[in-house]
Amino acid sequence: MNLKGRSFLTLKDYTPDEIEYLIDLAAKLKEKKKKGILGNSLKGKNIALIFEKPSTRTRCAFTIGCIDEGGHPEYLGRDDIQLGHKESIEDTARVLGRMFDGIEYRGFAHENAEILAKYSGVPVWNGLTDTYHPTQILADFLTLKEQFGKLKGLKLLYAGDGRNNVANSLLIGCTKMGIDITILSPKSLWPEGELVNICKGYAEASGSIIEITQDLNSVKDVDAVYTDVWCSMGEEALAEERIKLLKPYQVNDDLLKKVGKPNTIVLHCLPAVKGNEITHEVFERFSKVIFDEAENRMHTIKAVMVATLGNGQA
């Protein structure tokens, strides 16, 4: 499959076959890395890593993924370049596009990623914006495939803030790949109606079911329970109010008893605030799969770079 030159801003832009290809490519790259076999798909390529928001997994994944494939990553923090301050994003994009072969952007406004992609002339990869987090969902899907051997027909429950970037991207990804998805959240934190309508179209094509509810009894028989922090970066002032609102949606033993399925797994995109969105006990019980999911950020991000900038092969 040829994805050369494509940006990766949201899973809306990718077909189910293309998403499956990226997951399978990541699995092959992971297998090779475990054997100590690295590639040269990005040899001679320079990659700009723009970080307006700090990161552990995304920064490390892009850096290691790039180096593993023979490329050179250059970290550009918020104080290193004039992105949207003394220089317009359009002009920064045109400068970076002449110097770099690919650009990763992790920041606030999704529009900034779109502008970088429009004006740079090189592939731009979304490392996280306030609206979408597509590389996270690829890692989640690789993890699900490792655990269950398939994606289509699985049932996933997301509990917590139903309108954050992870929930949005899970909604898109699950409906594209035929995974039933339940968003369990207080009504004030449900995803935007426009996005839900778009995803209903994807669900119709794939055969998946969408449920958006505040009913704690809607969790029965799911294969995976997924949660995320209750306050995203930039929302710290809302912490007290958000904790009070979301406490009933904590992933704990009571919730897992309601699921009632022995092989259900728990996923978390990290960092975790144990005692808020997930109890310490449940987190530790499922820590192996959660840290498999974290490691899979590296393999899936590497796959995106190899597919869109490299030779597209493991």
- 232 annotated as a binding-site residue: yes
Q: How far is CA 151 from the centre of its chain?
A: 16
- pTM greater than the 0.85 cutoff: yes
- 308 annotated as a binding-site residue: no
Active site residues: 106, 133, 136, 228, 269, 297
- 120 annotated as a binding-site residue: no
Is 152 in the same domain as 257?
yes
Is 54 in the same domain as 156?
no
Q: Is residue 241 part of a domain?
A: yes
Q: What is the pLDDT along the chain (314 residues), one digit of tens a residue?
A: 999 999 999 999 999 999 999 999 999 999 999 999 999 999 999 999 999 999 999 999 999 999 999 999 999 998 888 786 789 999 999 999 999 999 999 999 999 999 999 999 999 999 999 999 999 999 999 999 999 999 999 999 999 999 999 999 999 999 999 999 999 999 999 999 999 999 999 999 999 999 999 999 999 999 999 999 998 777 777 888 999 999 999 999 999 999 999 999 999 999 999 999 999 999 999 999 999 999 999 999 999 999 999 999 99
Total number of domains in the chain = 2
Q: Which residues pair with 103 in a beta bridge?
A: 48, 124
Task: Name the residue range of residue 52's domain.
Answer: 11-133+296-308
| pLDDT 10s digits, 156-202 | 999 999 999 999 999 999 999 999 999 999 999 999 999 999 999 99
Give the integer Cα–Cα distance in Å for 287 and 34.
Answer: 20
- Residue 184: strand, helix, or coil: strand
Is 149 in the same domain as 191?
yes
Q: Is residue 46 part of a domain?
A: yes
Q: Is residue 5 part of a domain?
A: no
Is 179 in the same domain as 276?
yes
Q: Is residue 287 part of a domain?
A: yes
- 63 annotated as a binding-site residue: no
The CATH number linked to 193 is: 3.40.50.1370
Whether omega for the bond prior to residue 262 falls within 30 degrees of 0, making it cis, is no
Q: Is residue 314 part of a domain?
A: no
